[in-house]
């Protein structure tokens, strides 16, 4: 409404100027000049208020989806002049999918002292984001003119991790070596025998330190336990372009990432070794579960549904890393006709297909043409020897 008042004032001033000239009335000249001077002065003050500023921005490096992020912005004036209040709006990337943002505190930048303002937003999309633009809005003291200027400052990098989405799946005991022990809930440190001594790596619990070896060698040594029965789980997500289905913030691929993270944490806790052949090199794994969990979280943050290769192509590429007795969890939502044959060609491994029905992820009744949840396709997968588990619909990613 104030903007309309400003527009009306400007129009009135122009009209008065025109009438003053046409009618040659001295009072109209005074009135028109007065209003024009006020408007010009307002514009000048707004213009000056956003100039010659310096900014610094601080944001946390990483958060989980749905966690509020507080960004602090420090502003200082490079000229010694009094300014009206300015407000700062960060140039957040659009694909960040923000749920709510608080306004930043209006501040009056000072020449001698940095002034701090901050705002909070809640990201609802995982990934790694970076932005550097920042827009400052300055309004004159009367609130008639608002101008803005963009500043490019040191970029901020924010990693938004997926949140683990609890899910319970029952994998068949014949699905891979050691799964029965995994399912029995045995965890490391619960009566398992140590299998050896190795050097300490960051994250190892203090209680596992082998003091004798440490004293002997002079280096910190820890006991290494059997991780269950040496279960090796490989997780592969269908990340082909066009397979991320859904028309809201929750899509099939996001649900896969959340479930994958949860399952990975659960299995890691029970002593399994988890890998993502699509995103990791085989020898990049570390042994320690806490570090591994962080690596998995990073993998699931970076993975995007923008690949050209299909899931069956990924499986073929990863064939060299698949060993006898490996259990491969396949997360898919769209029918991949080459997948059953590829599975059959991959010998020694057991496949568990986690199927995501895309229909609930669409607000309209029309769903995709070839979902993986098609009963016929499920039959084909089962015929290829895979265990098929339908996954529940995820309404919220947090």
Comparing CB distances to other proteins, the nearer of 82 and 216 is: 82
> Based on CB atoms, which residue is closest to other proteins, 111 or 282?
111
Report whether 398 contacts 99 (CB < 8 A).
Answer: no
Q: Nearer Cβ to other proteins, position 77 or 208?
A: 77
Q: Which of residues 41-70 bind other proteins (CB under 8 A)?
A: 41, 45, 54, 56
On whether the CB atoms of residues 63 and 48 are closer than 8 A, the answer is: no
In the complex with other proteins, which residue's Cβ is closer, 43 or 294? 43
Q: Which CB sits closer to other proteins, 142 or 291?
A: 142
Which neighbouring-strand residues pair with 130? Answer: 157
Q: How many residues in the shown chain lie near other proteins by CB under 8 A?
A: 61
Collapsed DSSP state (helix, strand, coil) of residue 149? strand
- Residue 283's CB: how many other CB atoms inside 10 A? 6
Residues 6+ apart with CB under 8 A from 387: 171, 172, 175, 350, 351, 352, 353
What's the closest the beta carbon of residue 343 comes to other proteins, in angstroms?
A: 55
Judged by CB under 8 A, the chain residues 184 through 213 that form the site for other proteins are none
Residue 319, classed as helix, strand or coil, is: helix
- Residue 31 or 384: the one with the smaller Cβ distance to other proteins is 31
Listed ranges 27-35, 290-298, 371-379, 380-388: which one lies at the site for other proteins (CB under 8 A): 27-35
Q: Which stretch binds other proteins (CB under 8 A): 15-23, 227-235, 249-257, 279-287?
A: 15-23
Q: Smallest distance, Å, CB 367 to other proteins? A: 41
- Residue 241 has phi, psi (to 5 degrees) of -55, 130
Number of other CB atoms surrounding residue 347 within 10 Å = 9
Binding to other proteins in span 107-146, by CB under 8 A: 107-119, 139, 141-144
Work out which of 66, 93, 106, 325 binds other proteins, going by CB under 8 A.
106
**CA dist., res. 120 & res. 54, Å (int):** 21
Tracing tokens 């997968």 back to the chain, one arrives at 381
Compose the 68-97 pattern: x for residues touching other proteins by CB under 8 A, - for all others.
------x-x-----xxxx-x----------
157 lies in the site for other proteins, by CB under 8 A: no
Shortest Cβ 97–other proteins spacing (Å): 22
Nearer to other proteins by Cβ, of 88 and 394: the residue is 88
Smallest separation, CB 225 to other proteins (Å): 44
CA distance 199 to 296: 23
Residues with Cβ within 8 Å of residue 130, at least 6 apart in sequence: 93, 155, 156, 157, 158
Taking the complex as a whole, the smallest distance from the CB of residue 395 to other proteins amounts, in Å, to: 29
Within 182-333, strands assigned E span 194-199, 221-225, 232-237, 273-275, 327-332
Q: How far is the CB of 235 from other proteins (least distance, A)?
A: 41
Burial (CB < 10 A; 0-12, 13-18, 19+), residue 10, is middle
Distance between CA atoms of residues 256 and 154, nearest Å: 34
CB of 118 to other proteins, least distance (A): 8
Locus of tokens 């806790």 = 269
How many angstroms separate the first and last alpha carbons of the chain? 38
User: Per the structure block, which two tokens stand in for 212?
Assistant: 């004798």
- For residue 22, state whether it binds other proteins (rule: CB under 8 A): yes
Nearest approach in angstroms of CB 107 to other proteins is 4
The set of residues, in sequence order, having a beta carbon less than 8 Å from that of 146 and lying 6+ positions away, is 3, 46, 137, 138, 139
Nearer to other proteins, 23 or 201 (CB): 23
Give the CA distances from residue 105 to residues 86, 120, 276, in Å, rounded to whole numbers and listed in that order: 9, 11, 44
Kindly tell me which of 16 and 237 has the beta carbon lying closer to other proteins: 16
Residue 34 binding other proteins, by CB under 8 A: yes
83 vs 288 by CB, closer to other proteins: 83
Which residues are near other proteins by CB under 8 A?
A: 1-2, 5, 8-9, 12, 15-16, 19-35, 37-38, 41, 45, 54, 56, 74, 76, 82-85, 87, 102-119, 139, 141-144
């Amino acid at each position: 409404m104030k903007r309309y008042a400003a527009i009306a004032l400007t129009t009135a001033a122009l009209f008065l100027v025109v009438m003053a000239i046409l009618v040659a009335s001295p009072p109209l000249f005074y009135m028109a000049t007065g209003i024009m001077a006020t408007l010009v002065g307002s514009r000048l003050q707004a213009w000056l208020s956003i100039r010659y500023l310096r900014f610094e921005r601080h944001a946390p490096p990483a958060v989980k989806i749905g966690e509020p992020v507080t960004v602090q912005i420090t502003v200082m004036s490079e000229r010694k002049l009094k300014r009206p209040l300015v407000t700062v709006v960060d140039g957040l990337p659009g694909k960040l999918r923000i749920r709510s943002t608080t306004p930043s505190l209006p501040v009056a930048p000072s020449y001698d002292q940095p002034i701090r303002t901050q705002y909070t937003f809640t990201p609802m999309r995982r990934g790694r984001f970076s932005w550097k633009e920042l827009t400052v809005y300055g309004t004159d003291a009367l609130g008639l003119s608002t101008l803005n200027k963009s500043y490019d400052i040191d970029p901020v990098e924010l990693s938004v991790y997926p949140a683990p989405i609890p899910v319970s799946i029952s994998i068949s005991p014949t699905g891979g070596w050691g799964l029965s022990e995994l399912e029995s809930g045995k965890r490391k440190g619960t009566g398992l025998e140590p299998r050896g001594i190795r050097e300490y790596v960051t994250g190892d619990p203090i209680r596992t330190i082998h003091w004798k070896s440490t004293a002997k060698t002079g280096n910190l040594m820890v006991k290494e336990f059997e991780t269950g029965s040496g279960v090796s789980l490989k997780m592969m997500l269908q990340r082909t372009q066009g397979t991320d289905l859904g028309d809201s913030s929750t899509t099939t691929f996001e649900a896969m990432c959340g479930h994958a993270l949860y399952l990975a944490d659960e299995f890691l806790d029970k002593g399994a070794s988890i890998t993502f052949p699509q995103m990791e090199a085989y020898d990049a794994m570390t042994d320690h579960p806490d570090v591994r969990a962080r690596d998995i979280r990073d993998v699931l943050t970076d993975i995007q549904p923008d690949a050209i290769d299909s899931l069956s192509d990924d499986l073929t590429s990863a064939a060299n890393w698949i060993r006898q007795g490996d259990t491969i969890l396949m997360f898919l939502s769209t029918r991949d006709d080459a997948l059953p044959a590829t599975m059959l060609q991959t010998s020694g491994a057991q496949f568990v297909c986690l199927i995501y029905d895309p229909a609930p992820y669409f607000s309209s009744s029309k769903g995709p043409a070839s979902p993986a949840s098609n009963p016929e396709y499920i039959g084909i997968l089962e015929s290829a020897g895979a265990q098929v588990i339908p996954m529940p619909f995820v309404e919220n990613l947090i």
